Chain A
Amino acid sequence: MIQVNQLSKTYNGTTVLNISNLEIPKGQSFGLVGNNGAGKTTFFSLLLDLIQPSTGYIKSNDIQVNNSENWKSFTGSFLDENFLIGYLTPEEYFYFIGDLRNQNKADVDALLAKHEEFFNGEILKNKKYLRDLSKGNQKKVGIIATLIGNPEVVILDEPFANLDPTTVSRLKKIIKELAENPNVTVLVSSHDLQHTVEVCDRIVALNKGEIVKDIQTSKETLQELELFFAV
């Protein structure tokens, strides 16, 4: 589904990302782990054509993301609160994204009903604008909005951060469900090794922009990763 070729990003002579080759097959749930500054968000930003690669390219479903915009119709993503429109209510935001993804109100309502538990009664019909929600609740909105319109690629940057323990376990359930669908490729980045190991089939560890580990998840994965990141 996603092919990365000779990809690198350099700022003022410092290489922050350098991936010579990476292939993510369709239906895989892919976890990206690494310390701060490892290049996780840079990679996702490149994948979403928010920044330009210094060399190389990324292809999503055989579409080179920085040449054509056709990947947008099957990609759902949430990187940070810059993806939220602060002056809308959560409902309005969902319908807005729905409109852009050719989903009618009923489709969106159905999706929201399905995730009512995840919202925990704090999102819908609360008479608050998104800008006034807490960080955690904003994140809930952003994550569910990526699922509108049944995207084939779902990209979530640090989805577990800022969430309360109950919501984290509910989110894991949602991601696992997505991962079971053979048509959906899920990409998740996180600092939290345990969460990532739980929801992903495959884990890639980045360090200073380079891939240092690429493992299919097994019982020993967590231990292996912890050992690697321990100083």
Chain B
Amino acid sequence: MIKKFIYLEWKAFIRSASFGKNLAMKILIGFFMLYFSVIFIGMGVGAFYVLKDMKLEPLVTVNKFLVYYFLFDLLIRLLLQSIPVLNIKPLLVLPFKKPTIVHFSLGKTMLSFFNWIHALFFIPFSVVLILNGYDVVGIVFWHLGIMAFIYINNFLNIILSNIDKLFVVFVALIAVLAGAQYYKLFDITEFTTPFFQNFYDIEGVFLIPILLLIGLHIYTYKYFKKNLYLDAGLSVKQDEASTENLTWLNQFGTLGTFLKNDIKLIKRNKRSKTTIIMSVVFLFYGLIFFGNSHQPAMMHIFAGIFVSGGFLFVFGQFVPSWDSSYYQLMMTQNIPYRNYITSKWWLIVIATFVSTILASFYLFYGWEVYLTIVVGAIYNIGVNSHLVLLGGAFTKTPIDLSNAGGAFGDKKAFNASAMLLSLPKILLPVALYALGIYFGDKMIGLALVAVAGILGFVFKEKVFTLIEKRYKIEKYSTISAYKQKN
């Protein structure tokens, strides 16, 4: 029986729209996976020595942060790890026993990327600990305890995934805990650190999470099996709809019509909602660079571009794929392409503008830092907005709006032309900035980048004509690509 399942999975894997098509993409995906694996393994190996260098006891320090690590892991899972519910439907009426289906589905989630990625960190870390004279048995037990927690998260995600507001609750929880700790009101790690430390210190404590995991597995199994009906666990939840007219946008004519539609698109679909979350995450990207003397000054503009560019990169990159499910409709309506693109452009501009205002907390690092962000925003509006829209003409991957996981899970979004176009988005401003620093100082660098942005803005109409032409050339292949749903 299981053999049949594995056969199905293998077919699903090799025939997924992303995978089948071309070798270049496979190599690229392989490269990315390798890259992230190396980073994680490197972190696992490096963590010990870095912490030692900072005169901290490595194992205790890691244990201290584990509670946040697990909370954050659960958060990411809630956001991105989807439960393979859809593939189950066709199996229900075939002669498979229900327990087999459930076991297989649960087993499948256990093999997920979201689980084994952690091993890439913890295994090398454990090995380094043992090599440095830590007790072998203790470390193995500690390791098992940690792995049990990771799988506890895996099952928690399955049980909790149907509850809507949970994501916000977890964000709030992490924020409150971290805040309380920062202001020394309440330190949760005082309680959790010894708990995790005991996995190592006291033999047998690691059995607690393992037993917890087994219990949770049994519970999830029963829960899943009980809900294996089309109108229960397998039902697709329907939102109650409310008609919104957004009449204030009417004054913008056709542009307003599209903006209205785009706002609803973002508000009402899982996948597009993640773009908003990502834009907020990007806002904090600069924290890595500013006020960090280890980073070369050249990278400041890099951060400046990203701080205000979250929406641009995450949403803009997939124009017009957001409209892929009804692209045929758009193509038969009396729509000038230019208005369509202009509306997306405005959306990007508004989002960049709002991000720039929200980023004003960077003033804390001095006005020069904020100026960098403003210049980055100018460049984003003037040049990058055009580039993402142009890149969109080549992005022919249909987007499943109801699936949040796509934002990263989708390796499909890569293609050569879009990749090439992404180079000037980041490298050009960095080069201009570096040039400015080389021949003068930071201000000249910033001025160069800003001028590039303003120039792009000045030639907006010309560029739009070019983009429009591209979209028209690509029209038929785009339509046919969007028809191939996954």
Contact check, B329 vs A82: say whether CB atoms are below 8 A apart. Answer: yes
Contact check, B257 vs A82: say whether CB atoms are below 8 A apart. Answer: no
Q: Is A119 an interface residue (CB 8 A)?
A: no
Q: Residue of B at shortest CB range from A79?
A: B328
Tell me the A97-132 residues at the B interface (CB within 8 Å).
Answer: 97, 99-101, 126-129, 131-132
Q: Is B243 an interface residue (CB 8 A)?
A: yes
Q: How far is the CA of A126 from the CA of B243 in the complex (A)?
A: 10
Known: A72-B333, A83-B326, A129-B239. A88 touches B264 (CB 8 A): yes
Q: How far is the CA of A108 from the CA of B476 in the complex (A)?
A: 31
Counted as pairs of residues, one from A and one from B, with CB atoms less than 8 Å apart, the total is 86
Q: What chain B residues lie within 8 Å of A132 (beta carbons)?
A: 238-239, 241
Contact check, A82 vs B327: say whether CB atoms are below 8 A apart. Answer: yes
Nearest-Cβ distance from residue A20 to partner chain B, whole angstroms: 23
What's the tally of chain A residues with a CB closer than 8 Å to chain B? 33
Q: How far is the CA of A51 from the CA of B242 in the complex (A)?
A: 36
Q: Is B244 an interface residue (CB 8 A)?
A: yes
Q: How far is the CA of A89 from the CA of B240 in the complex (A)?
A: 10
Q: Residue of A at shortest CB range from B477?
A: A52
Partner of A51, one of B260, B261, B329, B476: B476
Dominant SS among interface residues on chain A: loop
Partner of B480, one of A51, A72, A79: A51
Contact check, A89 vs B328: say whether CB atoms are below 8 A apart. Answer: no
Q: Residue of B at shortest CB range from A132?
A: B238
Partner of A99, one of B238, B254, B264, B479: B254
Contact check, A100 vs B328: say whether CB atoms are below 8 A apart. Answer: no
Contact with A along B471-486 (1 / 0, CB 8 A): 0000010011001000
Contact with B along A67-81 (1 / 0, CB 8 A): 001001101010100
Q: Residue of A at shortest CB range from B328?
A: A82
Q: What chain B residues lie within 8 Å of A86 (beta carbons)?
A: 325-326, 401
Nearest-Cβ distance from residue A30 to partner chain B, whole angstroms: 18
Q: Is A24 an interface residue (CB 8 A)?
A: no
Known: A87-B268, A89-B241, A99-B254. A52 touches B335 (CB 8 A): no
Q: Is A23 an interface residue (CB 8 A)?
A: no
Tell me the B172-198 residues at the A interface (CB within 8 Å).
Answer: none
Contact check, A85 vs B261: say whether CB atoms are below 8 A apart. Answer: yes
Partner of B243, one of A79, A82, A91, A101: A91
Contact check, A128 vs B241: say whether CB atoms are below 8 A apart. Answer: yes
Q: How far is the CA of A194 from the CA of B333 in the complex (A)?
A: 31
Q: How far is the CA of A84 from the CA of B325 in the complex (A)?
A: 8
Q: Is A92 an interface residue (CB 8 A)?
A: yes
Q: Is B293 an interface residue (CB 8 A)?
A: no
Q: What chain A residues lie within 8 Å of B238 (beta carbons)?
A: 128-129, 132
Contact check, B328 vs A83: say whether CB atoms are below 8 A apart. Answer: yes
Dominant SS among interface residues on chain B: helix
Q: How far is the CA of A226 from the CA of B257 in the complex (A)?
A: 47
Q: Is B251 an interface residue (CB 8 A)?
A: no
Q: How far is the CA of A156 from the CA of B63 in the complex (A)?
A: 65
Partner of A100, one of B269, B327, B333, B480: B333
Known: A72-B334, A85-B261. A129 touches B241 (CB 8 A): yes
Contact check, A87 vs B480: say whether CB atoms are below 8 A apart. Answer: no
Q: Residue of B at shortest CB range from A92?
A: B243
Q: Is B331 an interface residue (CB 8 A)?
A: yes
Q: Residue of B at shortest CB range from A125?
A: B243
Q: Is A57 an interface residue (CB 8 A)?
A: no
Nearest-Cβ distance from residue B231 to partner chain A, whole angstroms: 14
Q: Is A198 an interface residue (CB 8 A)?
A: no
Tell me the A118-163 residues at the B interface (CB within 8 Å).
Answer: 126-129, 131-132
Contact check, A87 vs B328: say whether CB atoms are below 8 A apart. Answer: no
Contact check, B476 vs A72: say whether CB atoms are below 8 A apart. Answer: no
Q: What chain B residues lie within 8 Å of A203 (beta carbons)?
A: none
Contact check, A127 vs B327: say whether CB atoms are below 8 A apart. Answer: no
Contact with A along B199-238 (1 / 0, CB 8 A): 0000000000000000000000000000000000000001
Q: Which residues of A contact B (CB under 8 A)?
A: 48-52, 69, 72-73, 75, 77, 79, 82-89, 91-92, 95-97, 99-101, 126-129, 131-132
Task: State the 5 A-B residue pairs at the shortest beta-carbon distance, nearest first.
Answer: A99-B257, A87-B268, A83-B329, A72-B334, A132-B238
Q: Can you offer 11 A-B residue contacts whose CB atoms are under 8 A?
A: A72-B333, A77-B332, A79-B328, A85-B329, A89-B242, A89-B243, A92-B243, A92-B245, A95-B245, A100-B254, A129-B239
